Structure 1
Amino acid sequence: MNSPRPARRPAAVLFDCDGVLADSEPLVNRVIAADLTLRGWPMTPDAAGRTFLGTALPDMVPRIEAVVGALPADWMTLISHRVAAVMKEEVEPVSGAPEALQALASCGVPIAVASNSTRLELETKLHRLGFTSLFSGRVLSFEDVPRPKPWPDIYLAAALACAATPEDCVVVEDSLPGVRAGIAAGCRVLGFAKELACEQLEAEGAHPFTDMSQLPVLLGLGSD
């Protein structure tokens, strides 16, 4: 699979967080798998990833309840706090992500982060990784919009936060719900093939790539 060709400079770059900036998906999967196993749905972290990659907590609930029955009313809050506690101590950046963000900042390209994580989880990850200031307040959780990914709401809001039209923005995603959200918003989507194969991302309309350090080049902001 060839990397996508460099494109014209985008008006803004809109990032997913888990699996794109933060190497957090194995940690989230560990928490979810442990919880569901205790509730009677035996699950490994790998299975949790395959089942829920890119899915917001509100969309996970009916799928889980179909297997284990009714969850406690505060289940989403409990899971969010458990995930945030793990992130605070363990999460590391995706290889090449810090350098890519710095390159974009140096070029003056507005950036935003738009995540299906809760606000608590998202802010905890960005703080630990030292990314918070790079986004200048343009940090959006699914809790900030009416509908989570795969609906386009969060990427439409992220483009607005960057004072850009969605058609002039590039979304960087690694999950199918995220790619679908970016495409539905009218953005160009680069699919980071880490958890999913290039072919899976491409089938949804993303331009796949496999090396985050190449992102500035793919955005037309540098050269090999």
Structure 2
Amino acid sequence: MRAVLFDMDGTLLATEQYWDEALVELGAGWGKTVGPDALAATAGVDLDGAMAIVRAAVGVSRTPEESAADHTWVVDRVEQLMAEAVTWQPGARELLLACHADDVRTALVTTTPRALVTHVLGHLRADLGVEPFEVVVCGDEVPARKPDPSPYLQAMAALDLGPADCVVVEDSLTGSRAGLDAGCRVLGVPAGQVLPAEAGLTVAEGLEGVTPAVLADLPHPVRT
């Protein structure tokens, strides 16, 4: 293994909660309550898809113009929250630093737009004292978003590495699917979703105790 490709929201950082908070506030603005099942279904889904899930769950119809305004409002709200602070998932900071110490290359591959990721990277640089990732691929910089493999293929191309050299770390079904379809081994650390057994996918309860050596030993998928 020569590189680890990390998802951001819910995997490395507890930023998924910001999207949930904004969607709950959006629903409240419609006079509706967005419940935990609807929020769980949005994990790993891009914002337009997440808003569609929420609208269906609470029974709200919006015009295209209203949907566009909702999209802008949610992004602005999450940007406010991310600008204030971000929190590591347990074990994530230690794993990232261990990758740096072991000369394992790192990339961030996220559905979150670049404008928001810029705030996150600023927090991480200040905390770690180093540039956290060699490559950063954001959701508004790819031809297709997860579960399409394009984001991970783009990250590997930027690193000039192939899938046999890389391990993907993800928390969602859509993200895991993207990593597997890119040909990589995937460590799934789900929160609120069930990841089905599949060749190339290893599921763990979290990142505590996970090291580069653990990732390097993950089984390769057997493809026929």
- Aligned partner of 2:221 in structure 1 is none
Tell which deviates more after alignment, 204-213 or 157-166: 204-213
Tell which deviates more after alignment, 49-58 or 100-109: 49-58
For these two proteins, the number of residue pairs brought into alignment is: 207
Shift of 1:122: 1.9
In the alignment, does 2:108 pair up with 1:118? no
- Aligned partner of 2:97 in structure 1 is 102
Correspondence 1:190-209 to 2 at 5 A: 190-196=187-193, 200-205=194-199, 206-209=201-204
Gaps of 5+ in 2: 218-224
Give the number of the structure with larger relative contact order, counting CA–CA contacts within 8 Å between residues 6 or more apart: 1
Q: 2:62 aligns with which of 69, 86, 94?
A: 69
RMSD: 2.1
Shift of 1:48: 4.2
CA displacement, residues 184-220 of structure 1 (integer Å, 9 cap, x when unaligned): 1111111013333xxx224355201123132214123
Are the structure 2 counterparts of residues 125 and 202 from structure 1 closer, same or farther at C-alpha, using a change threshold of 3 Å? Answer: same
Contact kept? 1:23, 1:93, Cα under 8 Å:
yes
Q: What is the distance in 1 between the residues matched to 2:159 and 2:72? A: 30
Contact kept? 2:149, 2:181, Cα under 8 Å:
yes
Q: What is the distance in 1 between the residues matched to 2:11 and 2:77? A: 21
Shift of 1:165: 0.6
Q: 2:86 aligns with which of 79, 91, 105?
A: 91
- Aligned partner of 1:31 in structure 2 is 22
Q: What is the distance in 1 between the residues matched to 2:69 and 2:164? A: 38
Q: What is the distance in 2 between the residues matched to 1:121 and 1:48? A: 23
- TM-score, normalisation: structure 1: 0.83
Shift of 1:168: 2.3
Secondary structure of 1:164's counterpart equals coil
Tell which deviates more after alignment, 68-77 or 205-214: 68-77
Select the structure that is richer in helix. 1
Shift of 1:183: 0.8
- Aligned partner of 1:135 in structure 2 is 133
- Aligned partner of 2:222 in structure 1 is none
Shift of 1:31: 0.9
Shift of 1:151: 0.4
Contact kept? 2:42, 2:49, Cα under 8 Å:
no
Secondary structure of 1:35's counterpart equals helix
Q: What is the distance in 2 between the residues matched to 1:204 and 1:220? A: 18
Q: What is the distance in 1 between the residues matched to 2:169 and 2:90? A: 15
Q: What is the distance in 2 between the residues matched to 1:99 and 1:24? A: 18
Q: What is the distance in 2 between the residues matched to 1:19 and 1:162? A: 24
